[in-house]
Amino acid sequence: MSGAPKLQSLPEAAPPGALPQHVAIIMDGNRRWAEARGLPVALGHKAGAEAVRRTIQACAEQGIGWLTLFAFSSENWLRPPEEVTALTGLLRLYLRSEVATFAREGIRLRVIGDRARFGVETMREIDRAEAVTAGGTRLNVNVALSYGARDEILAAARAVAEAARAGTLDPASLDETAFAARLFTAGMPDPDLIIRTSGEQRLSNFLLWQAAYAEFVFQEVLWPDYGAEHLARALRDYGRRERRFGARPG
């Protein structure tokens, strides 16, 4: 039918042993790591920030092109106020301390999510970090902050509805590519591999649209203990799989 929406073409099946272009990680376990050691939760988050440094470096060394880290969900605002304050303070400190290293090593940093909820000071640090690292081509790092996939999809749907109402979009012409262009991840490849730490096995409202054909690896390690060896293990697991994107096996 001439007026039917076009479907996004799927990538060709990836051969076993291929390296993922885009790795996304649900960083889970900071609180449990701290509680197991009798430490304040804030120190668990601080140790988690060190794991972020190690993982970014490991991805750059492995030749990964894209890394998305789920750092703060839209639901995390419901945590105790003192924990939220500690998290946002750690975020600002991290941005200030790491931006020069990122720029020097060719790492581009971007934030996806509702950054406005963090306030003017944090937004200023985010904007500065994105601007300073904008020329990086070695590794693209996306940090999901105040992010929820359902909110993201709803916002994209509202944008489509507004465009249709304004007469700038024919709903019959809407396809997956046009819809994806209205998501926070517009212009980015979908994740090939999604890793979740701490033994939990759920998406928790993370990249629901983008994860349609992702491979999943669930690891028992708590996030503050994560390092290059854990990433390498996940990549080996991924490399043993043959991705067919819904096609029937040959």
Q: Does 202 show up as a binding residue in the annotation?
A: yes
Q: Does 31 show up as a binding residue in the annotation?
A: yes
The residues near 250 (Cβ < 8 Å, ≥ 6 apart) are: none
Q: Does 30 show up as a binding residue in the annotation?
A: yes
3-state secondary structure of 72: strand
DSSP-H helix ranges across 105-220: 120-132, 149-166, 176-180
Q: Does 33 show up as a binding residue in the annotation?
A: yes
Q: Does 32 show up as a binding residue in the annotation?
A: yes
Of all helices (H) and strands (E), which one includes residue 58? helix 41-62
Amino acid identity of residue 232, one-letter, is: A
Q: Does 230 show up as a binding residue in the annotation?
A: no
Q: Does 45 show up as a binding residue in the annotation?
A: yes
Q: Does 74 show up as a binding residue in the annotation?
A: yes
Q: What is residue 201's DSSP assignment? A: -
Reference 9, options 223, 149, 190, 227; nearest CA is 190
Q: Does 39 show up as a binding residue in the annotation?
A: no
Q: Does 205 show up as a binding residue in the annotation?
A: no
The token duo for 152 is: 């993201």
Q: List, by residue number, the catalytic residues.
A: 28, 76
Q: Chain-centre distance of CA 174, in angstroms?
A: 25
Q: Does 198 show up as a binding residue in the annotation?
A: no
| Integer Cα distance of 105 and 144 in angstroms | 21
First to last CA, the chain: 30
Known binding positions for Mg(2+): 28, 215
- Binding site: which residues? 28-33, 45, 73-75, 77, 79, 196, 202-204, 215
Numbered residues of the known binding site for substrate:
29-33, 45, 73-75, 77, 79, 196, 202-204
